[in-house]
Chains A and B, each alone.
Chain A
Amino acid sequence: MIDQDVIERTLGAALRTGADFAEIYAEDKRNTSVGLDDGRIEQVTSGRDRGAGIRVIKGETTGFAHTSDLSEAGLAEAAFAAAAAASQGGGGTRTIALTRSDPRSVNRVDRYPDEVAKAAKVELVLRINEAARAAGSEIVQVSAGYGDSRKRVLIANSDGLLAQDDVVRVLTRISVVANGDTGMQTGFQSMGQTVGWEAFDTVDIEELARDAARQAIVKLRARPAPSGPVPVVIRNGSGGVLFHEACGHGLEADHVHKGASVYAGKVGQLVASPLVTLVDDGTLPTEWGTLAIDDEGHPTQRNVLIENGVLTDYMWDHLRARKEGRAPSGNGRRQSYMHLPMVRMTNTFVLDGPDEPDDIISSTEHGVYVSHLGGGSVNTATGDFVFGMSEAYLIENGEITEPLREGNLIGNGPQVLLDIDMLGNDFAMGNPGTCGKDGQGVPVGDGQPTLRVKSLTIGGTAS
């Protein structure tokens, strides 16, 4: 993408004002998407994004500038802007010598999506639409989409790091509306992988479409959700977002560093039920949050955050790790070359526990069973978090009974982690997610076995 000597001179220019660290992140990304709504292929879109972001750190200050001009002159201009932003002072020159390191690959890509005909992508979306519409006469509207991207990345910094990656993603999503006597209800499904077109060899997209339709149809007979504290059972592979919000964000070193996390100063302490071992792992093959290197050029890795209930470590990026004099954990991520990296999760999940999933339900006298979770959010300083239930049922006398209308559940992270009293042995990863933080969205994965939380507050309207 950029010659090595140009990179070295650009980093040298960025350090001109005596900065401690300079970094260049360049990307060249092409994407294709197909959008279907109301029975029509509304639009096929092709996009191209190409540019570089230059980061300069001097003392406690980070300067950042970016450019879509990858010529040496364009890069030099961005380097000077970033250096000026990081510093008003002057002095000093440093010569940069880069050492190229090729990351081990975490995914094998068999069929690059840019080599697949657009007609095949259109046909895939039409199949999704037809399967959903065939699922029942209650289905009145379907929206479906396909998207792929291939992003070549080059990262180099003044510590001598030079790393490159070629990141491929494919995604499909489907939203369904069903209509009945009680109004409209919605269903949603999605599938995303960090591999190529071969992902569709093993995923049954018609089944995915039927499941979205089934959710919407089931909810036509849903009754208002209860209001107040109840035991909540969460189906395997549906609720990793619980941990993402209840503690994942609170274990990001930037929040911890500013004393804006309820988990600050708690390494070595029991912060969760001893059943819980929580891992963030960017190396899982094909998963949505998987990367060979993070967006600062460091290999991703498997990081155990909570082991048998005890907090073992936080997640780190370059900046926070440098302050602590330790190695980064491969969690420095950014949305694009236009964004500063920060501490982010990759794939975050809880390992299997001892319980049979059926026993978890049958031993719950009265409660709520959540089989699809929506998104969520957390205040890391207080630990209060919410997450939506897009498909849920009552549990009465140990059995799953009536469907419930949608709503949020609310809890306090540290309390909820301690309140996990049953953990299943049926671990599964969930749907692809997009995690938002400080205005940047990055792809993440999550997963968990079936589990029970002794008490969560459910935000329905029924008493």
Chain B
Amino acid sequence: MSDLLDIADRVIAQARPGEQLEAFVSRGGDTEVRVYQGEVEHFVAAQAEGIGIRVISEGRTGFAYAGTLDETAMAEVLAEARDNVKFGTVDEWAGLAEPDGVQVTDQELWNDELAQFPTDRKIELAKELERLTLAVDSRVRIDDSNYADGSGEAAVATTTGIRQWGRENGCYVSISTLADDGDETQTGFGFSVGRSPAMFDLERAAREAADRATRLLGATKPPSKRTTVVLDPFVTAQLLGIISSTLNGEAVVKGRSLFKDRLGDEVAPPYVSLIDDPTNPLAYTATDVDGEGLAARRNPLIDHGVLRQFTHNSYSARRAGTVSTGNAVRGGFAGTPGVGALALSLVPGDRSQAELIADIDDGLLVQSVTGIHSGVNPISGDFSTGAAGLLISNGQLGAPVREFTIASTLQRMLLDITEVGGDIDWLPMRAAGVSLVIRDVTMSGA
């Protein structure tokens, strides 16, 4: 097993009567190689470890952490967490997760080939991706070409009977491109992810990075109007991330979700089903347990257009009078578990992006969006982002466009989905991509 679980066990063994203790202990390492013009620009080898301790006593919660597993520091963390308890407000729902009998789905989250992958091959992959991308089109330059991998192990133990340890690793390559034509420059990106470097598709990453940049050359500002948009899979994945925050059980119990009273309602057309399934091995963020140590599980959130379920951790579930959906998320040892989707995807349709486009007389393919953090408000539902893409006319891709926004509301966009594509793409994020057609979106340009 692991020394991390031993550490967690030793911490919770110090619990005093009437006190709930949780210890989360983790250790991880990352490598990042950046190549520029055939040379290594930087090589980063990083190691980090630490512990977070949560104490709950008489309905009050306290927390402390340290970025070290030094014995003295850990003793200080427990003492600080106990001191912090005194200042919490009594909360009748406060408490740690308890084992719920849900079986953990076995998953292969650790790859030995990646763990032993030599440094010079990592550098070579980044160089190879740069070469392949430059070979696609003579108008393309490279901003940076990267290889990155990460590995981590974590243990969580509580006085309520949770005891879990796991480890995982993964890697990706990515490239940022610039395409020049006269004095105009456009940008693109490409990437490929995998549990091991053997799963990379460098040629696809190179081609997409070059195409994304070159096809925007000559882009102009489009006129303002309402139109039908096709979201590229990468854009859909970002939209799903925002939609999931409105289905977050903590937002629901605290009155911040615009869907809070809508369970059982039709919130989308019947061909729309949104699933959170971290047990799907295809998902980049697949995991066996959640941030509180409960089994990760498949949760249909929107089923054939009907809102079925919110995501919950043990706290939001207790408040909502339900059970945890295994959706506790934590950002490492320095924080306590929140609630969030783990691995979202829309159930795909059957048609390719080209087939979706062929049915559209007048519309827009959205290749990228910007400003999601500044122009989308998941509480009011207002949605407005910068965008770039290609106009669609008579079923064909046409002129490139940029420096415009697309806008609607999250509620409307779900209802206005006219088709889900069949081109599901597993991306290095918490949501999978798929082409998505949405009607009646406002495009603001010239």
**Per a CB cutoff under 8 Å, which of A38, A41, A86, A379 touches B88?**
A41
Instruction: Tell me, yes or no, whether B81 is within 8 Å of chain A by CB.
Output: yes
By beta carbon, the residue of chain B nearest A457 is B444
**Does the CB pair A457–B64 fall under 8 Å?**
no
Q: Which of A33-67 contact B (CB under 8 A)?
A: 34, 37-51, 59-67
Bound state CA distance, A426 and B384, in angstroms? 30
**Does the CB pair B64–A85 fall under 8 Å?**
no
**Does the CB pair B185–A382 fall under 8 Å?**
yes
Query: A169-183 interface mask toward B, CB cutoff 8 Å, 1 = contact, 0 = none?
Result: 000000001010001
**Does the CB pair A63–B43 fall under 8 Å?**
yes
Instruction: Tell me, yes or no, whether A408 is within 8 Å of chain B by CB.
Output: yes
Instruction: Tell me, yes or no, whether A376 is within 8 Å of chain B by CB.
Output: yes
**Does the CB pair A42–B88 fall under 8 Å?**
yes
Extra A-B contacts (11), CB below 8 Å, given A42-B88, A60-B36, A65-B45: A41-B87, A45-B336, A46-B83, A48-B65, A65-B47, A69-B68, A141-B254, A186-B377, A382-B402, A461-B407, A461-B409
Given contacts A86-B43, A381-B186, A461-B408, contact A386 B73 (CB under 8 A): no
- Which of chain A's residues have a CB closer than 8 A to the CB of B62? 43-44
Instruction: Tell me, yes or no, whether B269 is within 8 Å of chain A by CB.
Output: no
Q: Which of B404-446 contact A (CB under 8 A)?
A: 404-409, 442-446
Q: Which of A370-388 contact B (CB under 8 A)?
A: 374-377, 379, 381-382, 384-388
Instruction: Tell me, yes or no, whether B153 is within 8 Å of chain A by CB.
Output: no
- Which of chain B's residues have a CB closer than 8 A to the CB of A67? 47
Bound state CA distance, A290 and B43, in angstroms? 29
**Does the CB pair A44–B87 fall under 8 Å?**
yes
Bound state CA distance, A262 and B403, in angstroms? 15
- Which of chain A's residues have a CB closer than 8 A to the CB of B66? 47-50
**Does the CB pair A412–B83 fall under 8 Å?**
no
Task: Name B residues whose Cβ lies closer than 8 Å to a Cβ of A.
Answer: 36, 39-50, 61-68, 73, 76-77, 80-81, 83-84, 87-89, 91, 141, 143-144, 178, 185-187, 221, 224, 254-256, 258, 334, 336, 370-371, 373-375, 377, 379-382, 384-386, 388, 402-409, 442-446
Bound state CA distance, A234 and B207, in angstroms? 42
**Does the CB pair B88–A340 fall under 8 Å?**
no
Within the complex, the shortest CB–CB distance from A242 to chain B, in Å, comes to: 12
Bound state CA distance, A387 and B371, in angstroms? 7
Q: Which of A63, A177, A410 has the most CB atoms of chain B within a 10 A radius of its CB?
A: A410
- Which of chain A's residues have a CB closer than 8 A to the CB of B44? 63-65, 85, 340
**Does the CB pair A411–B48 fall under 8 Å?**
no
Within the complex, the shortest CB–CB distance from A291 to chain B, in Å, comes to: 22
**Does the CB pair B221–A338 fall under 8 Å?**
no
Q: Which of A149-192 contact B (CB under 8 A)?
A: 177, 179, 183-186
**Does the CB pair B403–A459 fall under 8 Å?**
no
Given contacts A42-B91, A47-B65, contact A85 B43 (CB under 8 A): yes
Bound state CA distance, A331 and B187, in angstroms? 26
Bound state CA distance, A456 and B403, in angstroms? 10
Query: A56-85 interface mask toward B, CB cutoff 8 Å, 1 = contact, 0 = none?
Result: 000111111111110000000000011001
Instruction: Tell me, yes or no, whether A458 is within 8 Å of chain B by CB.
Output: yes
**Per a CB cutoff under 8 Å, which of B185, B224, B371 touches A376?**
B371
- Which of chain B's residues have a CB closer than 8 A to the CB of A82? 45
Instruction: Tell me, yes or no, whether A218 is within 8 Å of chain B by CB.
Output: no
Q: Which of B187, B370, B386, B444 has the most CB atoms of chain A within a 10 A radius of its CB?
A: B444
Instruction: Tell me, yes or no, whether A460 is within 8 Å of chain B by CB.
Output: yes
**Does the CB pair A457–B405 fall under 8 Å?**
yes
- Which of chain A's residues have a CB closer than 8 A to the CB of B444? 227-228, 410, 457-460
**Does the CB pair B374–A459 fall under 8 Å?**
no
**Does the CB pair B403–A384 fall under 8 Å?**
yes
Size band of the interface chain A makes with B:
35 or more
Dominant secondary structure of chain A at its interface with chain B: strand
**Does the CB pair B406–A459 fall under 8 Å?**
yes
- Which of chain B's residues have a CB closer than 8 A to the CB of A38? 254
Bound state CA distance, A119 and B88, in angstroms? 10
Bound state CA distance, A379 and B403, in angstroms? 11
**Does the CB pair B404–A382 fall under 8 Å?**
no
By beta carbon, the residue of chain A nearest B59 is A40
**Does the CB pair B380–A405 fall under 8 Å?**
yes
**Does the CB pair A183–B258 fall under 8 Å?**
yes
**Per a CB cutoff under 8 Å, which of B41, B46, B377, B443 touches A66?**
B46
**Per a CB cutoff under 8 Å, which of A185, A227, A258 touches B36?**
A258
Bound state CA distance, A44 and B86, in angstroms? 9
- Which of chain B's residues have a CB closer than 8 A to the CB of A119? 87
**Does the CB pair A408–B375 fall under 8 Å?**
yes
Q: List 23 A-B contacts (CB under 8 A).
A: A42-B91, A44-B88, A45-B63, A46-B81, A61-B40, A61-B41, A61-B42, A65-B46, A68-B50, A85-B45, A86-B43, A141-B255, A177-B379, A183-B381, A184-B258, A377-B374, A385-B386, A388-B384, A406-B375, A410-B405, A459-B442, A459-B444, A460-B442
**Per a CB cutoff under 8 Å, which of A46, A185, A259, A385 touches B178?**
A259
Instruction: Tell me, yes or no, whether A407 is within 8 Å of chain B by CB.
Output: yes
Give the top 3 A-B pairs by smallest Cβ distance, nearest first.
A459-B405, A388-B374, A408-B375
**Does the CB pair A338–B48 fall under 8 Å?**
yes
By beta carbon, the residue of chain A nearest B444 is A227
By beta carbon, the residue of chain A nearest B64 is A46
**Does the CB pair B84–A44 fall under 8 Å?**
yes
**Does the CB pair A411–B65 fall under 8 Å?**
no
**Does the CB pair B48–A375 fall under 8 Å?**
no
- Which of chain B's residues have a CB closer than 8 A to the CB of A98? none
- Which of chain A's residues have a CB closer than 8 A to the CB of B374? 374-377, 386-388, 408
Within the complex, the shortest CB–CB distance from B341 to chain A, in Å, comes to: 20
- Which of chain B's residues have a CB closer than 8 A to the CB of A459? 375, 384-386, 404-407, 442, 444
**Per a CB cutoff under 8 Å, which of A184, A375, A385, A407 touches B407?**
A407
**Does the CB pair B89–A41 fall under 8 Å?**
yes
**Does the CB pair B407–A457 fall under 8 Å?**
no
Within the complex, the shortest CB–CB distance from B52 to chain A, in Å, comes to: 9
**Per a CB cutoff under 8 Å, which of B254, B388, B404 touches A457?**
B404
**Does the CB pair B45–A64 fall under 8 Å?**
yes
- Which of chain B's residues have a CB closer than 8 A to the CB of A64? 42-46
Q: Which of A12-40 contact B (CB under 8 A)?
A: 34, 37-40
Within the complex, the shortest CB–CB distance from B391 to chain A, in Å, comes to: 17
Within the complex, the shortest CB–CB distance from B221 to chain A, in Å, comes to: 7
- Which of chain B's residues have a CB closer than 8 A to the CB of A258? 36, 143-144
- Which of chain A's residues have a CB closer than 8 A to the CB of B65? 45-48
Bound state CA distance, A186 and B255, in angstroms? 12
Bound state CA distance, A407 and B46, in angstroms? 39
- Which of chain A's residues have a CB closer than 8 A to the CB of B370? 377, 379, 384, 386
**Does the CB pair B80–A228 fall under 8 Å?**
no
Within the complex, the shortest CB–CB distance from B279 to chain A, in Å, comes to: 28
Given contacts A68-B68, A140-B255, contact A42 B186 (CB under 8 A): no
Within the complex, the shortest CB–CB distance from A60 to chain B, in Å, comes to: 5
**Does the CB pair B221–A457 fall under 8 Å?**
yes
- Which of chain A's residues have a CB closer than 8 A to the CB of B408? 461
Instruction: Tell me, yes or no, whether A109 is within 8 Å of chain B by CB.
Output: no
**Does the CB pair B83–A457 fall under 8 Å?**
no
Bound state CA distance, A182 and B264, in angstroms? 22
Query: A405-437 interface mask toward B, CB cutoff 8 Å, 1 = contact, 0 = none?
Result: 111101110000000000000000000000000
**Does the CB pair B87–A48 fall under 8 Å?**
no
- Which of chain B's residues have a CB closer than 8 A to the CB of A379? 187, 370
**Does the CB pair A382–B254 fall under 8 Å?**
no
Within the complex, the shortest CB–CB distance from A97 to chain B, in Å, comes to: 27
**Does the CB pair A408–B45 fall under 8 Å?**
no
**Per a CB cutoff under 8 Å, which of A50, A61, A177 touches B256?**
A177
- Which of chain A's residues have a CB closer than 8 A to the CB of B258? 183-184
**Does the CB pair A406–B380 fall under 8 Å?**
yes
- Which of chain A's residues have a CB closer than 8 A to the CB of B61? 42-43
- Which of chain A's residues have a CB closer than 8 A to the CB of B336? 43, 45
Bound state CA distance, A382 and B80, in angstroms? 49
Instruction: Tell me, yes or no, whether A122 is within 8 Å of chain B by CB.
Output: yes
By beta carbon, the residue of chain B nearest A241 is B374
- Which of chain B's residues have a CB closer than 8 A to the CB of A225? 384
**Per a CB cutoff under 8 Å, which of B73, B89, B224 touches A48?**
B73
